[in-house]
Structure 1
Amino acid sequence: MADFGALSSLGLGSNVLNYDVIEKLRQADEARMLAPIDRRLESVEGKKSELTTITTLTSTLKSTVLDLADGVIFAKRSVQVSGETVSAEVKDGVAPQDLAITVNTLAKRDIWQSRGFTDEASAVVDRDTTMTLSLNGIDYSLDVSAGTTLSQLRDMLNEKGAGNFQASILNVGGSTPYTLVLKSTETGADQAISVTYDDGDTNTGDDDFLSLSHVQTATDADFTYNGIEITRASNTVEDLVPGLTLHLLKEDATATTNISIKQDIEGIADTVAEFIDAYNAWYSEMTNATKYDPETHTAGIFQGDNTINSLKYEVARALNAVTEDGKGLASFGMDITKDGIVTFDRTAFVEALKNDPESVEKTLVGSDASPGVFKTINQTLATATDSDHGSLALLDTQLSDRMTRLEKERERTLAYLDARYNTMAQRFAAYDEMIASFNASFQSLQQMIDAQVAAAKK
């Protein structure tokens, strides 16, 4: 109710024109003018809330159908390895095939070990010497000064090697336990290291002051692939079959590891199951929002709405589509009940993929010219969920605009009622004052009459 300010004594003069009268009149006007607007606002707010739920479920449905629609899921691959000499990784899209691998020799690094020294601070050379390491056609020369310690030489080698070879100190025990270990960083025959020395003295010769001995010789991996002999510099082989990575683990010329690359049928089935769960949740929500019960005469909040009904119809129609050869979802373990819910027979679907994967993909994916079930659904949902021009976004804009108009209409109506009843209060106050004046005059006259009557009786 409006604030009538100083009119706090309203009704005192007349005992009739008071706030209760104004309040009852205003309540009647609000019921007639504001209540219909509030009901429309409540309806729009309810639709916006339900539309948010529908939009979220539609986006979820679209995300689950995307991989199915573009056929990516059908390129998923699994790899099975039988044996211990090789492990394997496979990327999606690799052609299904079987491989037999026998590892004769693993690729190895070149490893050298020096003689023993008392400690890491032991001097390794007593005169200035140039030490040259050759690896893969590149020479690495170090100027080793007289008195250079074992640890200093290790650091010099690692700096010069720049990651192509590595030096470390190993404690092997005994009276001279500290030994320098020099090894190539990579494997392969071309990683063999050779070491030469030049102390500048042609009379003494160029002594190997480290007394290096070969611990392991750099070799290429040697293995057979389906009976064909293959060599590689690394034990990780990525160029044999595009998309397949082999890891050679153990030498055993008598053992064959079998590798089978197959379509990831179980992964595809999982994705289809996720779609069906998302679809059933979406369809149930859409049905509740658009239904009408003739017995109870109750309707869903979007009953009769063309946007929601059309989207529901288009997706349901795509699910029921069949190809020219009469195949549809039911051909691959997916049935639609009379209530529109999709059931999923996983076993039947897996068997269909094993027996005729091309037919499954043709029916469910199809092509741009002849889209299958999932491609059609994806196209329909993409149109509906477009953030700028999608049907759901446009409906949300319409509801927001309608709510804005109703809120402004309510503000105008409320302002009108405030002004009206403020004016009415002012008028009631004026009338009340007039009545109070009349009452006072009447009482004065009544007193005069009563006095005259009393005097006459005497």
Structure 2
Amino acid sequence: MTSMAMPGIATGMDTSAIVDQLMAVEAIPQQQLQQRAAGQNQFLDTLRSLNSQVADLGGTARDASRSDALQHFTASTSTDSVVATASSNAAPGALDFTVDAVAARHTMVTDAVAEWDTTSFTITGADGEAHTIEAASASLNDIVQAINRSDAGINATRVAAGDGTHRLQLAAAETGADGAFTLTGTSIGSTVTAEGADAAVTLWAGTAAEQRITSPTNTFSDLLPGVDVTVSQPSAAPVTLSIEQDAEASASTAQELMDGLSSVLGFISGQSDVSTEGDEVTASPLTGDSTSRAARQRLVDAAIQPINGQSLSSIGIEISRNGEITFDEARFTQALANDREGTEEMFAAFAGRIADTAVSLSDRYDGQITSRITGQEASIRRTEDQIATWDTRLANRRAALDRTYASLEVAIQQMNSQMEYMQSQLAGLPQANQAS
């Protein structure tokens, strides 16, 4: 038989509610700890976000500090059939050439057959290297599979010829004259449908300096230093290749760094604001935090210091003591046009200073912000341990209160029982004669 506790039967009081109310008071210190933990976690999340942004800024600044960071070029040609691309290794200039031929893939087609006439035959490359093909059977499927799995560098395809027969098309995996091959060891005839050939261009055609250049593909790598040229069809008329400085791309590199710096400084300012609404004042996660304040000041100092005694405003970069950033693209582009080498050196020094500062702040091992994060994580763990301790303390306190009130109920129940007994005994005594 199961007993059922009914608090308050003896006293008439809701002892369960009383215990809940007492426990609510007892839990106030734990609730304060939980509120502290919530604030600590919000602060930690904000620090982590700041650290990530500063690390990203460091990477952007490190890239921008390279000596070739502003070396951007555009390559163009006088015809749509020739496409050119330029890397940072290029240099301004122009070149005329003719496109004599485009690269071709060596291809042959066999006679129509129902099956192959042997399971072993040879494919020989242009270099004279022979590759023996061993097929599982004379079926065309096995022949195709054996060719494609070999290291001959040939792609085989079965093509229907009608009446249940098929032709095999064999094509070199790569274009160029070196992709030419021959088929031997079989009596099945074959026809070369395309000769493997290199692409070819001629520089300074018709002059004593005429020079022919070939490529196994349609792309001529480094036709000029840092310039690749891809052809798609022959052209007897001269093609002009032009390489020019890309001032817009150079300015974009500078703009990207300035945007990254502005974003970090803006994030710190936004997360340090104090808002007031009526009599209520609300602080942001980083309000009053010395680490983020120091990080902001270090970045601003790194940005505003002159380079070799020269102000960055001369190349269009202006930063106030308050961290307000202005980038004048037109002035930066003009500075590149007037003194490219000097401007590149100044910008590289500026970017390097930002990179060094950002790395010292966000380094994963000993960065200033990283260390602050590590300390905050330890503080949160201590707070969580205290909260867990309070869980045990409050559980024990509730158990003690439950026992106390249960004992009170039992004692009062016993007193009530004794009172009822005494009353019953008194009621049973003989009544005194009223007359006597």
Measured in 1, the distance between the counterparts of 2:238 and 2:358 equals 50
1:435 to 412, 429, 434: 412
1:335 to 313, 318, 332: 318
2:252 to 264, 270, 295: 270
Measured in 1, the distance between the counterparts of 2:407 and 2:3 equals 13
Work out whether 1:97 is the aligned partner of 2:92. yes
Q: Match of 1:25, SS?
A: helix
1:229 to 210, 226, 239: 210
Give, in angstroms, the shift of residue 450 of structure 1.
6.4
Work out whether 1:384 is the aligned partner of 2:361. yes
Measured in 2, the distance between the counterparts of 1:24 and 1:218 equals 91
Measured in 1, the distance between the counterparts of 2:410 and 2:220 equals 106
Measured in 2, the distance between the counterparts of 1:226 and 1:319 equals 56
Work out whether 1:354 is the aligned partner of 2:351. no
Q: Deviations over 1:350-393 (max 9, x none)?
A: 2222222222222221xxxxxx2211111222233333333333
Q: 2:241 is matched by which residue type in structure 1?
A: I
1:45 to 38, 41, 44: 41
Q: 1:45 is matched by which residue type in structure 2?
A: N
Aligned length: 376
Give, in angstroms, the shift of residue 28 of structure 1.
1.0
Measured in 1, the distance between the counterparts of 2:408 and 2:101 equals 112
Instruction: Report the TM-score, using the length of structure 2 for normalisation.
Output: 0.68
Work out whether 1:260 is the aligned partner of 2:223. no
Q: 2:15 is matched by which residue type in structure 1?
A: N
1:393 to 347, 358, 370: 370
Measured in 1, the distance between the counterparts of 2:343 and 2:55 equals 25
Residue 145 of structure 2 corresponds to: none
Instruction: Report the TM-score, using the length of structure 1 for normalisation.
Output: 0.66
Residue 310 of structure 1 corresponds to: 294
Give, in angstroms, the shift of residue 297 of structure 1.
4.4
Q: Deviations over 1:339-360 (max 9, x none)?
A: 5232333222222222222222
Q: Tell me the percent identity.
A: 19
Residue 269 of structure 2 corresponds to: 287
Q: How does 1:147-296 map to 2 (within 5 A)?
A: 186=176, 221-224=201-204, 228-234=209-215, 237-238=220-221, 241-246=224-229, 250-252=234-236, 257-292=239-274
Q: Does the aligned pair in 1 maintain the 2:251–2:333 contact within 8 Å?
A: yes
Q: Does the aligned pair in 2 maintain the 1:108–1:221 contact within 8 Å?
A: no
Q: 2:327 is matched by which residue type in structure 1?
A: F
Q: Match of 1:100, SS?
A: strand
Give, in angstroms, the shift of residue 79 of structure 1.
1.7
Q: Does the aligned pair in 1 maintain the 2:92–2:243 contact within 8 Å?
A: yes
1:321 to 280, 290, 305: 305
Q: 2:85 is matched by which residue type in structure 1?
A: E
Q: 2:332 is matched by which residue type in structure 1?
A: F
Q: Does the aligned pair in 1 maintain the 2:92–2:245 contact within 8 Å?
A: no
Q: Match of 2:204, SS?
A: strand
Q: Match of 1:12, SS?
A: coil
Q: 2:416 is matched by which residue type in structure 1?
A: N
Q: 1:223 is matched by which residue type in structure 2?
A: L
Gaps of 5+ in 2: 113-123, 131-151, 155-174, 180-194
Measured in 2, the distance between the counterparts of 1:6 and 1:420 equals 24
Q: CA, structure 1 residues 281+237, in 2 after alignment: closer, same or farther (shift >3 Å)? A: closer
Give, in angstroms, the shift of residue 236 of structure 1.
5.7
Which entry has the higher C-alpha Rg, 1 or 2?
A: 1
Give, in angstroms, the shift of residue 38 of structure 1.
1.0
Q: Does the aligned pair in 2 maintain the 1:107–1:187 contact within 8 Å?
A: no
Q: How does 1:52-67 map to 2 (within 5 A)?
A: 52-67=48-63
Measured in 2, the distance between the counterparts of 1:260 and 1:385 equals 43
Measured in 2, the distance between the counterparts of 1:314 and 1:102 equals 54
Coordinate RMSD, CA, aligned: 4.9
Q: 1:282 is matched by which residue type in structure 2?
A: V
Q: Deviations over 1:9-42 (max 9, x none)?
A: 33322334822222222111111x2122111111
